[in-house]
Amino acid sequence: MHYKLPVSKYTSIKQLVYSYLIKSVSIDTFKAENRCIKNEKILLHKGRDDDRVFYTSNVSLGLSKSQNRKAMELASAIASDLSGICGDVFSIQIVPPGWIHFELTNSTLATWLQSLVEGSGEEAGEFLAGSKGEEFSPQQEQHPRPSASFQCPIPNLFAVQYVHARCCSLVLLAHREGLIKLREPVPNNSPAFWSVISPNPLPWLNCDGTLRLNHPDERRLIGELIQVIDNIECHDVKGSVKWEKVALSLSQAFEKFWSNCRIWGEVKTTSPELAQARLGLLMATQSVLRFVLEENLGVFAPLEL
């Protein structure tokens, strides 16, 4: 299956929602959104539901008074416009007294996961083709570059480095056993890190278009990845992020996934597509862990221990 949503590596889902939301609000409120957003009246929160990925916004509540329109009426107008421009990216729902919910479609989630695996080499922060909302720049924290030798100045991060190294070992094992085929079995320092020849893209979706990864621990790990990328990309949270805690939480979510979601053995034999999708989730985790370790914490992301 070919995925048509050209997201760049480390583009956050929150970014995508904002970009579409701002474009729609400019149509339905005569560009009043600029003042509203600068005054921080528009809030966007990720929902706490591991079974689905959704965000909720109070934009219609924040603008109803200045627009002299009922919140539900304004929410319906915005939702109608959004459905026309991004109906294949999010499903839109209106919730009284005027909240707008954006639920990520399976195909968009599959494309986003694929982008984490393969990377694009483009600048983080670029949007979908054709989406021109306000941009969120990638985090520009200043950290010393990690040295080539193995160093771990923060003791608690050894567990995170261990998970990163184990992910790398498991990917190479999958290549040796023919579960996937890599162009260059030895990782390099390119933005993509891994270059998967086959299957490409990975089989994230079943034949009916639903996501293969439906185990609670798979969904929890996906939710953690989404939250980490939101933290990396979005200005409104980057100053308060505790990156050590973020890295530990992601590595713990991976541990639960790895304990309860098998890739080899019977799964590889009877459901190879599921095994490959789970391997893709593993590769996406490695990609994000590497970024957090090296760019946000300034420590080495080892390939092996």
Q: Are both 199 and 286 inside the same structural domain?
A: yes
| Chosen domain end from 108, 124, 158 | 108
Q: What is the pLDDT of residues 60-117, one digit of tens each?
A: 887 777 777 888 988 898 888 888 888 889 999 999 998 999 999 999 999 999 989 9
Q: Are both 220 and 102 inside the same structural domain?
A: no
Within a domain: 301: no
Q: Are both 182 and 292 inside the same structural domain?
A: yes
Q: Which residues contact 55 (CB under 8 A, 6 or more apart)?
A: 13, 14, 17, 44, 45, 46, 47, 101, 102
From residue 235, alpha-carbon distances to 53, 204, 218 in Å are 21, 30, 28
Within a domain: 4: no
The total number of structural domains that make up the chain: 2
User: Which pair of structure tokens corresponds to residue 266?
Assistant: 């019977």
CATH code for position 237? 1.10.730.10
Q: Which residues contact 267 (CB under 8 A, 6 or more apart)?
A: 274, 275, 278
Q: Are both 179 and 267 inside the same structural domain?
A: yes
Q: What is the pLDDT of residues 204-256, one digit of tens each?
A: 999 999 999 999 999 999 999 999 999 988 766 556 889 999 999 999 999 99
